[in-house]
Each structure stands twice: as structure tokens, then as C-alpha cells.
Structure 1
Amino acid sequence: MRRLLPTIIVAGLLVATPKRPALAQDGGDVMDVRAAAYLRDQYLADLDTLHAKIVALATAIPADKYAWRPAPGVRSISEALMHVAGEWYYFAPMSVAAKAPADFGAPREALPRLEKIADKSLVLAELDKSWTHCKAQLSGVAPASLTGTYRPWNTTLPRAAFGMTGDLHEHLGQLIAYARSVGVAPPWSR
């Protein structure tokens, strides 16, 4: 009996452990709808946090520092902020099968056009406009449409979403370094 006790305990725990929604099936290519809804909500929450911090930095950095860049050939502060706005218009929604605005155009033409916006008030307005679009697109995505693969990147939708948030976290880090280089501490770290 003493030898069987550990086996009985493990078996009991396995039976008593509540089932979580399946995160993947068929080799990781398909999610169930509950897991997809959870992923969408977590993705949106992470992007919302990124948006709040990026806008806080953009607001805290003085307008006369928006042209600052760490070296020739590297994005300026305004260009980095507008690059993020472009990702909210295009790549973040696309990573979960939503769409860019109808008037946005192809990213190869639209993104360089956005990065030319350098005036602080226009940058802040574009950040708000792009985030409003991104959030509306993501909030409107039906979980059932998130259970497949994302063709443009030939990957699963969860991997595309995590890739996008990873990229945006890198831009947040870049913008924190830029802000500190021009004498601005991130508002949430004061």
C-alpha cells in the first residue's frame, strides 16, 4: 500500500485538475474558439498598455526634440513614433486577421509617408487615430476567425500576435532610450 500511495495521489490530482481550454490542436496550427478569444483579449490588453506608455512618452518629450536622432541614418523620435502609428494601422490588426483603413494604402507607400509627420501635435493626433483604428479592428475580430494560420507571415495567428507585441515592446524600449537621451524620464517611472 505504501508503494501505491504516490501513484494514487498523482492519479487523483490528474483527475481533479480542471481542464483548461486547448491552446493548440493538430500540431499547433489550430486553436479552439475559447482559447482564441482569450488570446485576442490578452493581445488587446498588452497593446493597450503599450499605447498608454508610448503616448505618455510622446507627450512628455518636448516638441523641439522630435527631430533628435541618435546617429545619422537612424530614425528620429518623430519617425519612431510614426513607425509605431503605422504598425497600429497596419501590422497589429493584420496579425489577427483584421484590416488596415481603406484609405491607408499599401504599407510600402503609406509607412514612409507617415514617418514624414514631424510636428508634435500631428504626431500625437496620428498616434490617437491609429490606436483608435487598431483597437476597433481587434475588438471586432470574431474568435472563430482566429483559429487558423496567418498567411502573409505563414505562421499561426498566436505566433503572429506575439511577434507583433514583441516588436512593439522593442519600439517602446527604443523610445524610452530616446526620451532619456533628451533628458526625459518615462512618466510612469518618476
Structure 2
Amino acid sequence: MMLCGAVLSVAMSVLPAVAQEAAKKEAPKPAASPSQAVLDQWNDIGRKLIAMAEDFPEDKYEYKPKPEQRSFREQLLHASDSNYFFTNPATGQKMPTEEDPSKNKLKSKSEVVAFVKKSFADGAAAIKAKGDSGMSETIVDPYGNRQVRLGDLAYELIEHSGEHYGQLVVYYRVNGLVPPESRPKK
């Protein structure tokens, strides 16, 4: 019995080294191109917010943790409206002139879901159209009165969406729900 334990112990200590040697023989995967890296992050946060928009019960879409805060619906619309602060300049359009133009227009869950999907699809299309060289183009950010690279602006909006994703996780939890991303994977 002790011999079996000793053999098993030696095997367990050797296996990681063998796996590391095998991994060293394979060439590492190349880094994503600059535009592909932006696109991957853009699509990832978009996927998470779309899943929430589709999943959250419609009868709770107007839920607010406190009266002065945005509702679940307004949070989604704010994040989606904000995407156009990247998409518009990336596609040669003017920056949006108001913060949340859709919040008084889109009321039903189906309208909100469609808009969240559209805002992320529009941004993804702009990133693809710009490509690597386009992500290095600079624009003047009228709100910060500074020059900014389009890729950096995209990352700012990705971060912004991530912040709202975190807030929406709280909306789920205080309603006794589990966000889609936190559920066990099948």
C-alpha cells in the first residue's frame, strides 16, 4: 500500500512537468491584432448586457434600488446610448448631443433588447470597418477637449459598460435573482 502511495506521489509530481514540456513544444498563439482585441472586449461586454436585457423579468424593468437611481431599463439604455460616443465619431458622425436620448422613447422589454443589440452591433461594425490602422486614428473628444485614439475611446466605453454591468448585477441580487453570467455553465 505504501508503495502504491509512493508511486502515485511521484507520478503526480512528474505529470505537471511533462505537460509543461509539451506546451513548450507548441508555438504560442499569436497576439490578437489591435482591432481584434478591441472587438473581442466590445463583444464580450455586449454579450453580457444583451443576456441581462433578455433575461431580466419585464415586470421588474422599472426596478430602482432607490428612487433617485436609474431603473434597470434606464441602466441598459444609458450604457447602450453611451456606445454611440464611440460609434458616431468612428463612423464620421457627430457625437451625441444628449446623454440618454432613448430613455423616454423605449419602454418595453422588446424595444430595449433590440436597442441594446443594435448599439453593440453598430459598435462592432465600426471597429471592423476601421481595422487596425483605424483604431490608431485620433479625434478630438469635445467633452474632454483632448485628442484621443479611437481604440482608447472604445476601451473607455467598454469600461463604462462594465461599470453598468456591475450595477445591474446588484439589481439582480436584490431581487433574489442570479445574473446569467453567474449561473453554472452547462
Q: What is the TM-score with the length of structure 1 in the denominator?
A: 0.68
Task: Evaluate the alpha carbon distance shift between residue 136 and residue 159 of structure 1 in structure 2; reply closer, same or farther with a 3 A threshold.
Answer: closer
- Alignment-mate amino acid for residue 50 of structure 1: I
What does the per-residue CA deviation read over 1:97-147, in whole Å, with 9 as the maximum and x for residues that have no partner? 5137x7xx86234x4330122211111111122222111111101432333
Unaligned runs of 5+ in 2: 1-30
Verify: 1:177 aligned to 2:170, yes or no: yes
**CA distance, structure 2, for counterparts of residue 45 and residue 171 of structure 1:** 18
Q: Which has the larger radius of gyration?
A: 2
Task: Evaluate the alpha carbon distance shift between residue 174 and residue 149 of structure 1 in structure 2; reply closer, same or farther with a 3 A threshold.
Answer: same
**CA distance, structure 2, for counterparts of residue 60 and residue 145 of structure 1:** 35
Task: Evaluate the alpha carbon distance shift between residue 185 and residue 92 of structure 1 in structure 2; reply closer, same or farther with a 3 A threshold.
Answer: farther
Partner of 1:91: 85
- Report if the CA contact (8 A) 1:66-1:78 is conserved: yes
Partner of 1:160: 153
**CA distance, structure 2, for counterparts of residue 45 and residue 142 of structure 1:** 13
- Report if the CA contact (8 A) 2:34-2:135 is conserved: no
Task: Evaluate the alpha carbon distance shift between residue 179 and residue 108 of structure 1 in structure 2; reply closer, same or farther with a 3 A threshold.
Answer: farther
- Runs (4+) of structure 1 moved beyond 4 Å? none
Q: What is the TM-score with the length of structure 2 in the denominator?
A: 0.69
**CA distance, structure 1, for counterparts of residue 97 and residue 177 of structure 2:** 32
- Report if the CA contact (8 A) 2:85-2:95 is conserved: no
Q: What is the root-mean-square deviation of aligned Cα atoms in Å?
A: 2.4
Q: Secondary structure at the match of 1:114?
A: coil
| Structure 1 position 74, deviation (Å) | 1.1
Of 37, 43, 68 in structure 2, the residue corresponding to residue 42 of structure 1 is 37
Aligned length: 148
- Report if the CA contact (8 A) 1:69-1:76 is conserved: yes
**CA distance, structure 1, for counterparts of residue 140 and residue 59 of structure 2:** 42
| Structure 1 position 70, deviation (Å) | 1.2
Aligned-pair identity in percent equals 29
Verify: 1:75 aligned to 2:75, yes or no: no
